[in-house]
A and B are shown apart, each in its own frame.
Chain A
Amino acid sequence: MTNRERALNILHYKDVDRLPAVHFGYWGELLTEWVEQGKIPKDFAGGIGDGGEMDKALDELIGWDFNWNNTKGANNGLYPCFEQKELEILPDGSRRVLNGAGVIERIKPGIASIPSEDDYTLKDREAFENLYKPKMQFSPERVNYDYFKNFNETRDYDRPVGLHLGSVLGSIRDMTSVVGMSYLMYDEDEELFADIVDTFAEMQYKCVKEILETGARFDFAHYWEDICFKNGPLISPEKFDELCAKHYKKRNDLCHEYGIDIISLDCDGVTEKLLPTWFKNGVNTMFPIEIGVWGDQFEVARNKFGKGMLGVGGMDKTALRKDKAAVDAEIQRMKRLASMGGFIPCPDHRLMPGTKFELVQYYAEEIKKIRI
């Protein structure tokens, strides 16, 4: 069987010869560590993550079959994005930088953490109309038509290939910061916030439609959201449903028209309270189901939503920093979850610094021995 067949069969509750070894990529710092330890060639430390030949070579070296997160899509963000500008250097060496989404971040040299958000541009209707709305329109430059017209002839058929559907709220959150999103939604201009969501969503819908109309065929479709944290959603589920449900439905209905019946969504944190909106409107596969840090639980959601809820993820990646016994325990847990059907084990986020190369190889090797 190909890995494409394995993945699609599992997600359609059909038989497979074995589980595929699936991953979600790496922190850049981990690849640097592995280069320094002599585990991987220097070339692999940069430019990884696009699903290209370098990715595949690293997959082969480790023993992975594929990365679920490697998908193809349009340029569906702000276009053109804001020009990144350094605004000032602070006495402690931090740099205040205007990023591509118009948010002012504080970045400290040598620190890999998510930057602090100091301020943001998208504060009122004037900023939206003048600065953002023009960057949220569809234009043909957003889609690589030549690539997608030849897609079916050139794509990899050993791996499942997904169509990236964009993000209904996560990208807006990136433009406003969590703080700005909250102020707009609850105090300053609720109508404006809804306009922003609708404008951005329409452009993303058009991008998806244009790609599908080229005739390109995909095995699954995929969203990125990241709108939850340790204690649940970053927005009330009611508000989320009110703002976003119609956009998921429209985009997912389009995918269904083109025969795509696996629609996955990448959201970190504890996702439980937003699952009803996603499932009711056509998303059916959660990724990466972060059990390790946040305690997100595939089984709980499966018990609640039934077999219609599929999953890719759920393996506690922190075990890969520990020892063989910790990895073995996770493999046993993955075996149990996979036996429920409709579930593909995958580390529950990108592998972080301190992850042991040999343990990753061991995990990939062992997971491929599992037959369900």
Chain B
Amino acid sequence: MSIYLEISENVRTGKMKMVKELVQSAVDSGLPAEDILNLGLLVGMNEIGERFKNNEVYVPEVLVAARAMNAGVAILKPLLTEGNVQAVGKVCLGTVRGDMHDIGKNLVKMMMEGKGLEVIDLGTDVAPEAFVNTAIEQDCKVICCSALLTTTMDEMAEVVKQAEIAGVRERIKIMIGGAPITEEFCKNIGADVYTSDAASAADAAVELCR
């Protein structure tokens, strides 16, 4: 079994310690960091993402896989920076104002990182202006908003409005998701994309960043 396959399998099963050891061993044996990332870590995470999308695995499997992947990425990061490896795109994400819930938001972040996107995590209770200003300052192509509550979902419309006011609505896409969000709501507020799960959100963000 190739070391890349071993790494991807251990990411898929969420074995963090094994992933760390394998990635370190791959680095020590002189394999390129970019290949360890793309052929090992991200392959495992993408497989989990697909299975999550198809309801074949559940939230815990995603969380442990993401933790294992991140442990491997942490070893590779200095090498990737040296090699000037570019992210697939840049996204800023957060839970909307008035809402402190972050499990869904964190899952989306993990899935996006698993797709090679750079994610700026604004945290929870994020004001509409903060989404838009960060996207402008950090040159993000996508703003990604999460909400758990029916009482806070209307904040997403405010994010769309603020992007219009700032004159960036055409160049920055707005994605929304979370428990109470629907396709219909997305259309009603004029956001660009709604996805029903974290893996689909990552796929959609990659498309928007192309």
CA of A187 to CA of B12, assembled, Å = 11
Q: Would you call B151 and A229 a contact (CB within 8 A)?
A: no
Any B CB within 8 A of the CB of A234: yes
Q: Would you call A354 and B151 a contact (CB within 8 A)?
A: yes
> Residue-by-residue, is A243-263 near B (CB-CB < 8 Å gives 1, otherwise 0)?
000000000000000000000
Any A CB within 8 A of the CB of B124: yes
Q: Which of B60, B64, B100 contacts A111 (CB 8 A)?
A: B100
* A353 / chain B contacts, CB cutoff of 8 Å: 151
Q: Would you call A232 and B125 a contact (CB within 8 A)?
A: no
Given contacts A182-B64, A183-B63, A234-B58, contact A114 B101 (CB under 8 A): yes
Q: Which of A113, A181, A183 contacts B101 (CB 8 A)?
A: A113
CA of A182 to CA of B61, assembled, Å = 7
Q: Would you call A185 and B60 a contact (CB within 8 A)?
A: yes
Given contacts A113-B98, A113-B148, A293-B179, contact A236 B57 (CB under 8 A): yes
Q: Would you call A352 and B150 a contact (CB within 8 A)?
A: yes
Within A337-356, the residues touching B (CB, 8 Å) are 352-354
Any A CB within 8 A of the CB of B55: yes
Q: Would you call A318 and B150 a contact (CB within 8 A)?
A: yes
Q: Would you call A115 and B15 a contact (CB within 8 A)?
A: no
CA of A318 to CA of B185, assembled, Å = 14
CA of A112 to CA of B14, assembled, Å = 34
* B59 / chain A contacts, CB cutoff of 8 Å: 178, 182, 229, 234-235
CA of A186 to CA of B59, assembled, Å = 11
**Size class of the contact patch on chain B:** 20 to 34
Smallest beta-carbon distance B58→chain A, Å: 5
Q: Would you call A186 and B100 a contact (CB within 8 A)?
A: no
Q: Which of A108, A178, A187, A294 contacts B103 (CB 8 A)?
A: A178
CA of A288 to CA of B151, assembled, Å = 19
Q: Which of A108, A178, A229, A293 contacts B63 (CB 8 A)?
A: A178
Any B CB within 8 A of the CB of A369: no
Within A292-310, the residues touching B (CB, 8 Å) are 293-294
* A185 / chain B contacts, CB cutoff of 8 Å: 60
Given contacts A116-B101, A236-B58, contact A179 B63 (CB under 8 A): yes
Any A CB within 8 A of the CB of B16: yes
Any A CB within 8 A of the CB of B197: yes
Given contacts A116-B100, A353-B151, A354-B151, contact A231 B63 (CB under 8 A): no
In the complex, 18 of the A-B residue pairs with CB atoms within 8 angstroms, ordered by the A residue number, are A111-B98, A111-B125, A113-B100, A113-B148, A115-B100, A116-B101, A178-B59, A179-B63, A181-B60, A187-B14, A229-B104, A230-B178, A230-B196, A232-B58, A235-B59, A236-B57, A239-B60, A293-B150
Extra inter-chain contacts (11) besides given A178-B103, A229-B104, CB under 8 Å: A113-B98, A116-B124, A185-B60, A186-B60, A230-B178, A230-B196, A231-B196, A235-B59, A236-B60, A294-B179, A354-B151
Write the residues of chain B forming the contact surface with A, with a CB cutoff of 8 angstroms: 13-16, 55, 57-61, 63-64, 67-68, 98-104, 124-125, 148-152, 178-180, 196-197
Closest 9 A/B residue pairs (Cβ): A182-B60, A182-B63, A113-B100, A186-B64, A236-B58, A230-B179, A113-B99, A116-B100, A187-B64
